A and B are shown apart, each in its own frame.
Chain A
Amino acid sequence: MVTLTVARLVSGRVSVGRVGAVVGRNVGALRSGASYWLVLVSGFFEPLLYLLSIGVGVGALVGRIPVGDGRVVSYAVFVAPAMLAVSAMNGALSETTFNFFFKMRYAKTFEAILATPVRPIEIALGELSWAMVRSSVYTALFLVVMVVLRLADPVWALAAFPATMLVGLSFGALGMAVSTLLRGWQDFDLMTAAQFSLFLFSGTFSPVADYPGVLAVVVRVTPLYHSVELVRGLASGVPQWGLLGHAGYLVVMAVAGLWFAARRIERVLCA
């Protein structure tokens, strides 16, 4: 069903070349903008600092944590995959929220693009691809750090990498969809707050099973929870069939977000 929707959305009329041109525009912006690099680097270090301060630092005071099949792991090993998922989320979101909104509403970048053969869905796909590139660079580096710190086995780290790409994809799509709805910069405060809540309460720092009843239920419908479970399952080498459910959730979110964002770009800019 999902692949069918994707197929229809990306039916013959989508041009890979035009999507590539939208990605190329972002590569050009990266090349010419010095400040961009700063943002890029700082976005990577945030989850890493959390890993070191809380995972390793606070972890020294915390006991071992059970994962999946009855195994227990150190607190740092428990937190690291969560921070990996967070870095995938951050990488994708910083691209598809702030930058996307700026291009859509202020710089009129998309307006200019829409006067060319490029279509709204191709803009959305290009922006999303670019967000995934950024997110994947973050997670690849993060995985290297995890392996170096002996927080993950190299083979399982490799297995976790595609999962982090999926996390980037789905959060990128969600971010774009939300950005098309934002009215102005003031709404970014709301979004930052939402993002921080997800960061704190998605089974990141303690198992969701230990959360009080209602919170545990709420958390289970939010996207970072599924991302953390998926990434943790692979990174800590405890794959289960249940991971497919988490992956399915993320695929649906990616497709829905992409479709919605393309629709909104058309609505807003092609009036």
Chain B
Amino acid sequence: MSDVQPLVHARGLVKRFGDFVAVDGIDIDVAPGEAFGFLGPNGAGKSSTMRMISCVSMPSAGELRIFGMDPVREGPRIRGRLGVCPQLDNLDPDLTVRENLTTYARYFGLSRAQARARAEELLEFAQLRDRASSRVEPLSGGMKRRLTIARAMVNEPDLVLLDEPTTGLDPQARHLLWERLFRLKQQGVTLVLTTHYMDEAEQLCDRLVVMDGGRIVAEGSPRSLIESYSSPEVVELRFGGQELAGFVAPLDGVGDRVDVLPDRILLYAKDGDAAVSEVHRRELVPSSVLVRRSSLEDVFLHLTGRTLVE
């Protein structure tokens, strides 16, 4: 990290709204070419952080440098090299799909001809060519999201910020978007994204931080986080409608750790099948058993004691 200047550099970054502390002193470095993720539940402070990085909202305290520049003094220059996809689409309802792209390009100082050419490329990228002359409002959620992401690319940014790029999309639309983002990453574009989805973080991010209550509670690659905060496999046990707390003592020692959720018990183990055998040997009779690989969801649960509610 020392030989290459990080694109995003934050130390003790704080965002306050009145007395409320939304971001509570976080440190981040994002290297060029990296895909960096913020993972966290509602209200963790992900969007507040993203808005500071996008140089729209000013930090309340701490140090923030984007491309090595100070957002307070060089906002326009920094924003000229950023692509921003906000959590909620803010496409222009008075304009057509194509005009949304050309108009946006003009804000970045592209000439009319450049804007038109760029819009055509991005219509292709977003697979919206056949809707180019349509207004924005009748588009489906997935199409709007694709257009918003395409719009963020209009200035060929060095750094793209995506706040929950796939929330609210059906699995098919989500996979299409992942594929698009993956292509960007391969072109060397640096991505910073937030998500509630574990699979998304695992798919897209080289490195991520888990945020909770405005703080960073863990940091690393998806693999390394799973290795440090979970076990290789997880057994999910359900016991019909029975009181689950009563099973904690009988299950003691079966795995590395036991977590009781409202509807099921999670058993963390190196070998899931062996753990299941041990459960049966102790004459416990779950109504259902599922052995799966451990995921970031489990990391999150372990770190915060809460599930990520989507």
A111 to B93, CA, bound (A): 13
* Per-position 1/0 for B104-123, Cβ under 8 A of A: 10111100000000000000
Give the contacting residue for B94; candidates A20, A29, A118; CB below 8 A: A29
Chain A residues with CB under 8 Å of B95's CB are: 25, 28-29, 32
Give the contacting residue for A28; candidates B75, B84, B103; CB below 8 A: B103
Determine if A117 and B90 form an interchain contact, defined as CB atoms under 8 angstroms apart. Answer: no
Query: Does B99 have its Cβ within 8 Å of any Cβ on chain A?
Result: yes
Q: Shortest distance in angstroms between A264's beta carbon and chain B's nearest beta carbon?
A: 15
User: Would you call the interface of chain A mostly helix, strand, loop, or mixed?
Assistant: helix
Q: Shortest distance in angstroms between A22's beta carbon and chain B's nearest beta carbon?
A: 8
Give the contacting residue for A115; candidates B56, B93, B99, B102; CB below 8 A: B56
* Per-position 1/0 for B51-63, Cβ under 8 A of A: 0001011100000
A109 to B155, CA, bound (A): 18
Determine if A115 and B79 form an interchain contact, defined as CB atoms under 8 angstroms apart. Answer: yes
Q: Which residues between 62 and 90 of chain B lie within 8 Å of chain A, taking CB atoms?
A: 75-77, 79-80, 82, 84, 86, 88, 90
Determine if A117 and B92 form an interchain contact, defined as CB atoms under 8 angstroms apart. Answer: no
Chain B residues with CB under 8 Å of A271's CB are: 17, 57
Query: Does B251 have its Cβ within 8 Å of any Cβ on chain A?
Result: no
Q: Which residues between 102 and 141 of chain A lie within 8 Å of chain B, taking CB atoms?
A: 107-109, 111-119
Give the contacting residue for A112; candidates B92, B102, B155; CB below 8 A: B92
Query: Does A64 have its Cβ within 8 Å of any Cβ on chain B?
Result: no
In chain B, what residue has the closest Cβ to A112?
Answer: B90
Determine if A117 and B76 form an interchain contact, defined as CB atoms under 8 angstroms apart. Answer: yes
Determine if A115 and B94 form an interchain contact, defined as CB atoms under 8 angstroms apart. Answer: no
In chain B, what residue has the closest Cβ to A18?
Answer: B107
- Chain B's interface size range is 20 to 34
- Central interface residue in A20, A22, A109, by most chain B CB within 10 Å: A109
Determine if B54 and A115 form an interchain contact, defined as CB atoms under 8 angstroms apart. Answer: yes
Q: Shortest distance in angstroms between A130's beta carbon and chain B's nearest beta carbon?
A: 13
In chain B, what residue has the closest Cβ to A30?
Answer: B94
Chain B residues with CB under 8 Å of A20's CB are: 106
Determine if A33 and B79 form an interchain contact, defined as CB atoms under 8 angstroms apart. Answer: no
Determine if A21 and B92 form an interchain contact, defined as CB atoms under 8 angstroms apart. Answer: no
A25 to B106, CA, bound (A): 9
Determine if B109 and A108 form an interchain contact, defined as CB atoms under 8 angstroms apart. Answer: no
Determine if B86 and A111 form an interchain contact, defined as CB atoms under 8 angstroms apart. Answer: yes
Q: Shortest distance in angstroms between A30's beta carbon and chain B's nearest beta carbon?
A: 9
Chain A residues with CB under 8 Å of B76's CB are: 13, 15, 117-119
Query: Does B10 have its Cβ within 8 Å of any Cβ on chain A?
Result: no
Query: Does B91 have its Cβ within 8 Å of any Cβ on chain A?
Result: yes
Query: Does B304 have its Cβ within 8 Å of any Cβ on chain A?
Result: no
Query: Does B221 have its Cβ within 8 Å of any Cβ on chain A?
Result: no
A22 to B17, CA, bound (A): 30
Query: Does B129 have its Cβ within 8 Å of any Cβ on chain A?
Result: no
Chain A residues with CB under 8 Å of B57's CB are: 270-271
Give the contacting residue for A270; candidates B56, B84, B92; CB below 8 A: B56
In chain A, what residue has the closest Cβ to B80?
Answer: A117
Determine if A32 and B96 form an interchain contact, defined as CB atoms under 8 angstroms apart. Answer: yes
Query: Does B238 have its Cβ within 8 Å of any Cβ on chain A?
Result: no
A114 to B107, CA, bound (A): 9
Chain B residues with CB under 8 Å of A114's CB are: 56
Q: Shortest distance in angstroms between A231's beta carbon and chain B's nearest beta carbon?
A: 32
Determine if B17 and A21 form an interchain contact, defined as CB atoms under 8 angstroms apart. Answer: no
Q: Given A270-B56, A271-B17: A117 and B107 within 8 A (CB)?
A: yes
Query: Does B180 have its Cβ within 8 Å of any Cβ on chain A?
Result: no
Q: Given A29-B94, A32-B94: A116 and B86 within 8 A (CB)?
A: no
Query: Does B135 have its Cβ within 8 Å of any Cβ on chain A?
Result: yes
Determine if B103 and A21 form an interchain contact, defined as CB atoms under 8 angstroms apart. Answer: yes
Give the contacting residue for A107; candidates B58, B93, B96; CB below 8 A: B93
Query: Does A248 have its Cβ within 8 Å of any Cβ on chain B?
Result: no
A119 to B75, CA, bound (A): 9
Q: Shortest distance in angstroms between A216's beta carbon and chain B's nearest beta carbon?
A: 43
In chain A, what residue has the closest Cβ to B96?
Answer: A32
In chain B, what residue has the closest Cβ to A23?
Answer: B106
Determine if B107 and A113 form an interchain contact, defined as CB atoms under 8 angstroms apart. Answer: yes
Chain B residues with CB under 8 Å of A269's CB are: 56
A13 to B107, CA, bound (A): 15
Chain A residues with CB under 8 Å of B108's CB are: 116-117
Determine if A116 and B103 form an interchain contact, defined as CB atoms under 8 angstroms apart. Answer: no
Offer 15 A-B interface pairs, CB within 8 angstroms, sorted by A: A13-B76, A21-B103, A24-B103, A25-B92, A28-B99, A108-B88, A108-B90, A109-B92, A112-B86, A115-B56, A115-B82, A116-B107, A117-B75, A117-B76, A271-B57
Interchain residue pairs A-B with the least CB separation, the first 7: A29-B94, A108-B90, A116-B107, A21-B106, A117-B76, A115-B84, A112-B90
